[in-house]
Structure 1
């Protein structure tokens, strides 16, 4: 056996398909000082029993791009390495047995057009022609993807490993990592049972062992193993190797030809977690007992779909563990907690069909220090520290597994592991008829039924049961006054004599302002991409309050911390739990608040974009005059223990001013009408403020510059290759959500980043970037130049670079 090196640039922990793909792709970018360590043998954890499906259509644009690249890689891998892969391009068929599922599939087919993935909407008869064994009596339609297929997971992994070795990587089996070493700030290496390796980067690809391995160095990588089942049938009449992969989503099943047999697997709605008491040190190519009774109902459904199974024999009933994450999305990228510590795990049983793309983006990410594309949905930094709680994970993954095949309804809420984080007002909002959604562990009021009621979602791709309630909430904010509980905001304080200098280097806008001023700004990366979108309030000469979204709490705190020089006199503190937030928004907001506060809230005494401490009820609260709905209003930052008292005072006075409780769905609709951007959707680390129409928040000439300034200056000089545009569907019926293609004549010019029904405007509203037909600088935007495709149908829209609602900002500055 080769001797373990004393040093390596990158150490990869885990020899499954993900780890081997990262090693392979690192060598492709010219890094040959790479070591992969596997505790047992390659593929021996969960890769070896993967069903082998290679599907390309995922729920989002960038995830589909990764899967599409994976398919392209596998098609040529055997020729490149000489290692058989078992890859076969047989196509796939996804079936729908109801109109809602068919709507989802048709919307996915439309999305696929954005990046030239051929996806055909097919009838039940066409499905029958492509797959004779299928009973289509209850099928209403489906989609066919000719370029999908399957492969042998073990062979693919061995091919990637061979390619990595050819490129200079060293792979050591039967070498267990006993400790990841660090100096408190960044990774320094690993210890193994065969010696130690110093390393600049460590990549944790430990599959279902990742949670514990990452937690050992303080990194949050929440995942938990579940039982995953499939059955091999032999003697199935009518099958051969031309059979497409079949996905029967509504009955949770999938079907794949497997060397003369038919493999039938499932993603059931109520999964069984596994490994709660730890995973044996000896676990290697192991099966677990499982429960035939648990899987039997799914087998009965499979026999209805493929009647030939009734006469076939079961050769193998298999149960093996797979790891799942709380939100059914991967964990990729550099951790927030330790520099140089990367994670690629939590593949939710689709590791093989994701591995090629994951390996490629991880290699680029390690090399460049930032993700090569907008990968926020799978970024490890989205995770909250509490999510590694074992009880939380055990409960959530019973639902996570089944969500892979569930209908991905707009606004779908998790049902398990609820009530983790609650506002101090939670019980009061329940009494008001709040219907809560879960976001990043927070219970947040999304909409309100009648006070005292217990409203619940009725999901649909059309107008859901809260549509009219949402309209009433939006109307109240536009015409009277609304109350929003926004306590989930992430809130940080930066204090010290160097606080201003640190922040002004990170912020694109100028935060060297007078105390009491509030600044809207972005934080940029070196390419000019938007890493954060937030407000900064100067509290004093040496103290600032930074307020950002709940989703990016960990990421944004980490970004500022890492960009604070070691010798700077500036202390960063997360104070999110110390303050709740009540937002009072609408034309009557001043009159309402003035009726219960002795402070002068007039425009002259309290201008827009300023912040003051005022008296409300028995409390002293920080009131910031800012808005995310496009109306006069204040965000009230209240010490948590004073929240209930201040709320009660506002509600008691509110009736006289038309006060209405409003939820996050109304907030989203109102901000869409005003074309306010949302980070993670409309603006990402791939988009610049100039492209996003946020140039007004950038101070190019401020002293000392800022991160990303040079990239913006170059872009400004060259001209914009894409621009963010607001769209309003002319018909009042269709619903926009996201990822719908934007057509300009006979070409796709972009896609919708976010969409919502705009009640004030009378139709669905969306934001999306468009490019020029010649790939050059985007010219004038014509109001009637575009159409948007929704589930295969193109609808005329009105386009505008200015907000449709109050484009002059008159309503927020009164």
Structure 2
């Protein structure tokens, strides 16, 4: 950058720290649709009522969107309280970008709803929103980035929104001001654009009032009191409101609201800066508005702002800045529409990158910089939904991209509140994905990483390492950490795959087979031919006991309640018959149960169970044993021989049957042993005190030397479970699927006497017939394997999607589950699966590819020859 430009940047009029910028600066920075400010403000000298169904705390775009959607859906007594004025906080200074694109899956629905809402909001409310839809282009300037775009295209193909992989020529046609020297491809979303955040919020507010919501400001919430009946007392300087539920939408004040009830929400304010130029002649001369571009290698976005340009960088984690003092000391009193002092040195290299990609910037006069707080969670995703452990307390906080999320999240939360279940799967936003292990130090480290990684390449099986390990490590972590590649699971470190001499170690992400491929095959063979040990400690583990324990579980689960000493696989369904959770249930003693779920579902499932306990008045005690209890899995044809050396208990097939549970001692260590294994092979899960993990592990490894015992990780476990046709919650089943289409009929007892949740709706679904089914596919691929969420094709059209996939080390080809229309679900049907821009032939086969050990044993007893 020239010394002259650098000096010019330093001479910019900057807003004072803690002071409100002048109107002209704010309007220039924000696009300033002054006409949008004509709506009447609703400033209340009093609360107007002392009772409400729902009190929303925070008047940014998310909170106002929720008020709008709840009121429009007919909910009476919706009250929003804002401490300053509507849009104060992150909303006010946002750049207002809107996009259909999201690298994940479920949030695509949120983005799509928001854009469709914003398109019609002005007509509905009479309030201008300043919505521009010139489209957007993500720029690929490396071959790996092109691979990422192909990866994202296959994940978008089974969604209704428009997205295209375009050539450099098309990129230049759409954005003629680009330097095309490095452009290899573009990812183009025609409906993308930007909206004026202030105008959007005012339009949502107008709609909320139109449908009966009451928006009160300035009214500060000073305290929250939970009553014994689950309702809340919301204290303000103007009086107290009693509410059935409260929703924290307080933006960067969310942490303070949480502290009022003893919660430490993992959110932290981040400094984000963007720059606005004056008129650029080349921009002014254009006949149509430029699409938004995102130069991913340059790590910035750029859009047209009137006849000039606006661009905002995401600095590296080493350069970006957190407002740590706010977490420690709270947001300064009175902070509302203030801005931070800009720090141009942090963004100079990104300014230079933008000038190289868009050369007209070199001649542009930069008239303003905006540096304001946006709120980050550790993983950059917001927290949305009810909070475990606190009745009728909901959150919609931690929005790094609140403008595009606001419309869809308002609708999503409104539906959940009114209907009693989430309208679709969005577990990645569950506030209960965090727990006590999410410390302030961890939050800061992850937020810094997430901000700095805003535009990095997103690979399958992505791992990020800041803030790790947390305090939530298993008893085996120190013993195994140098022997394997660890993965992060809800705060835990868990081995993904293990090293041997000659292996290329470490995390080597790729869209194709990479350094873990052959080692995972080795671990697969270890379990199939010998015996392997896996650390399963991250499982969520609950104990349930009490007078009504059997009655509760009979109501919660679609399967029957197992007898004492037995275990089964059970599913909790929503009232609409969707699969809310999958757990193993063991009755250890009469009326005392152990429930086990996946690591990422721990508090998600516990909250649902606790809610039903309160709703039904069940007399039970629930204890979360997740952190205190370790779990080792031992699996393979020699598993019985190895464990038998450590105990006097009879572990023979006749004495210790499949799906039985028993308390015993292994090498004098007390364990609860369940004969079950997600590998589908002969195996046990051994539940024990965390402090006994090392001793138990060493005893098992010593006992198995003759059989060649060794470790295996979760990658091999996934390959093994897919070959056995085992479903996974969050992939083959979730709140988007019912158990019948997922092929879970065996676990659903529609004829059991108990009226379990979802039973009525499931009967109706069965009577009407299914529109789609989960099928089992083999694929003819080369160096790439399915992961899940890829598009499935038939006769030139996308007709479904994969849910999970892996290489089959038995069949030596790729294997996947997929949802397809019922008429295309028969064994032998030929389909195609799109992987990295290429359609590979696929065939529906009879599942499973490999029979489970219990099935093979049963067939052998009958004199039949089972397939392996």
Same fold, judged at TM 0.5 (above): yes
Contact 1:673 1:761 in 2 (8 A): no
For 2:562 and 2:567, how far apart are their aligned partners in 1?
Answer: 11
Counterpart for residue 266 of structure 1: 313
Counterpart for residue 531 of structure 1: 580
Which stretch has the larger CA shift, 452-461 or 407-416?
452-461
Contact 1:220 1:383 in 2 (8 A): no
Counterpart for residue 666 of structure 1: 716
* Pairing partner for 1:783 from 818, 828, 847: 828
Q: Deviations over 1:600-619 (max 9, x none)?
A: 21101111000112321231
For 1:635 and 1:359, how far apart are their aligned partners in 2?
Answer: 42
Counterpart for residue 301 of structure 2: 254
* Pairing partner for 1:121 from 157, 162, 165: 165
Alignment of 1:425-440 (within 5 A): 425-431=476-482, 433-440=483-490
Which stretch has the larger CA shift, 522-531 or 567-576?
567-576
1:137 aligns with 2:181: yes
Counterpart for residue 689 of structure 2: 639
Sort the Cα spacing of 1:275 and 1:534 in 2 relative to 1 into closer, same or farther, 3 A. Answer: same
For 2:499 and 2:277, how far apart are their aligned partners in 1?
Answer: 50
Counterpart for residue 688 of structure 1: 738
1:374 aligns with 2:425: yes
Q: Deviations over 1:31-68 (max 9, x none)?
A: 24211111101111010111111111112332112111
Cα deviation for residue 339 of structure 1 reads 2.8
For 1:801 and 1:217, how far apart are their aligned partners in 2?
Answer: 53
Counterpart for residue 550 of structure 1: 599
* Pairing partner for 1:361 from 402, 412, 418: 412
Alignment of 1:415-564 (within 5 A): 415-420=465-470, 421-431=472-482, 433-450=483-500, 455-513=505-563, 515-564=564-613
Q: Deviations over 1:304-329 (max 9, x none)?
A: 11122222222112211111111221
2:678 alignment partner, SS class: coil
RMSD of aligned residue pairs (Cα, Å): 2.0
Sort the Cα spacing of 1:569 and 1:84 in 2 relative to 1 into closer, same or farther, 3 A. Answer: closer
Counterpart for residue 106 of structure 1: 150
For 1:352 and 1:531, how far apart are their aligned partners in 2?
Answer: 29
Cα deviation for residue 804 of structure 1 reads 1.7
Counterpart for residue 126 of structure 2: 82
For 1:538 and 1:56, how far apart are their aligned partners in 2?
Answer: 47
* Pairing partner for 1:793 from 838, 846, 850: 838
Contact 2:801 2:820 in 1 (8 A): yes
Sort the Cα spacing of 1:247 and 1:636 in 2 relative to 1 into closer, same or farther, 3 A. Answer: same
For 2:447 and 2:508, how far apart are their aligned partners in 1?
Answer: 23
For 1:419 and 1:60, how far apart are their aligned partners in 2?
Answer: 25
* Pairing partner for 2:384 from 328, 332, 335: 332
Sort the Cα spacing of 1:562 and 1:663 in 2 relative to 1 into closer, same or farther, 3 A. Answer: same
Contact 1:517 1:610 in 2 (8 A): yes
1:164 aligns with 2:208: yes
Sort the Cα spacing of 1:812 and 1:467 in 2 relative to 1 into closer, same or farther, 3 A. Answer: farther
Alignment of 1:593-632 (within 5 A): 593-632=643-682
Counterpart for residue 24 of structure 1: 68
1:577 alignment partner, SS class: coil
Aligned length: 805
Contact 2:342 2:371 in 1 (8 A): yes
Cα deviation for residue 801 of structure 1 reads 5.4
Sort the Cα spacing of 1:811 and 1:423 in 2 relative to 1 into closer, same or farther, 3 A. Answer: farther
For 1:65 and 1:507, how far apart are their aligned partners in 2?
Answer: 29
Which stretch has the larger CA shift, 790-799 or 179-188?
179-188
Contact 1:53 1:149 in 2 (8 A): yes
Contact 1:473 1:666 in 2 (8 A): yes
For 1:221 and 1:811, how far apart are their aligned partners in 2?
Answer: 50
For 2:256 and 2:524, how far apart are their aligned partners in 1?
Answer: 46
Which stretch has the larger CA shift, 557-566 or 67-76?
557-566
Counterpart for residue 775 of structure 1: none
Cα deviation for residue 451 of structure 1 reads 7.0
Alignment of 1:190-229 (within 5 A): 190-219=234-263, 221-229=265-273
For 2:174 and 2:513, how far apart are their aligned partners in 1?
Answer: 34
Sort the Cα spacing of 1:673 and 1:269 in 2 relative to 1 into closer, same or farther, 3 A. Answer: farther
2:182 alignment partner, SS class: coil
Counterpart for residue 806 of structure 1: 851
Cα deviation for residue 302 of structure 1 reads 1.4
Counterpart for residue 402 of structure 1: 452
Counterpart for residue 762 of structure 2: 712
For 1:456 and 1:397, how far apart are their aligned partners in 2?
Answer: 23
Return 5+ residue gaps in structure 1 as ranges: 773-777
Cα deviation for residue 713 of structure 1 reads 1.6
For 2:229 and 2:631, how far apart are their aligned partners in 1?
Answer: 33
Sort the Cα spacing of 1:61 and 1:396 in 2 relative to 1 into closer, same or farther, 3 A. Answer: closer
Cα deviation for residue 732 of structure 1 reads 4.1
Which stretch has the larger CA shift, 252-261 or 283-292?
283-292
For 1:411 and 1:385, how far apart are their aligned partners in 2?
Answer: 25
Counterpart for residue 288 of structure 1: 340
Cα deviation for residue 234 of structure 1 reads 2.5
2:303 alignment partner, SS class: strand
For 1:8 and 1:620, how far apart are their aligned partners in 2?
Answer: 52
* Pairing partner for 1:383 from 415, 434, 445: 434
Sort the Cα spacing of 1:637 and 1:807 in 2 relative to 1 into closer, same or farther, 3 A. Answer: closer
For 1:436 and 1:643, how far apart are their aligned partners in 2?
Answer: 18
Sort the Cα spacing of 1:294 and 1:184 in 2 relative to 1 into closer, same or farther, 3 A. Answer: farther
* Superposition TM-score, scaled by structure 2 size: 0.90
Sort the Cα spacing of 1:646 and 1:675 in 2 relative to 1 into closer, same or farther, 3 A. Answer: same
* Superposition TM-score, scaled by structure 1 size: 0.95
Q: Deviations over 1:6-44 (max 9, x none)?
A: 122221111111111111111221224211111101111
Contact 1:435 1:454 in 2 (8 A): no
For 1:186 and 1:114, how far apart are their aligned partners in 2?
Answer: 42
1:49 alignment partner, SS class: coil
1:71 aligns with 2:115: yes
For 1:83 and 1:125, how far apart are their aligned partners in 2?
Answer: 39
1:288 alignment partner, SS class: coil
Cα deviation for residue 267 of structure 1 reads 2.2
Cα deviation for residue 460 of structure 1 reads 0.9
Counterpart for residue 413 of structure 1: 463
Which stretch has the larger CA shift, 265-274 or 689-698?
265-274
Contact 2:179 2:357 in 1 (8 A): yes
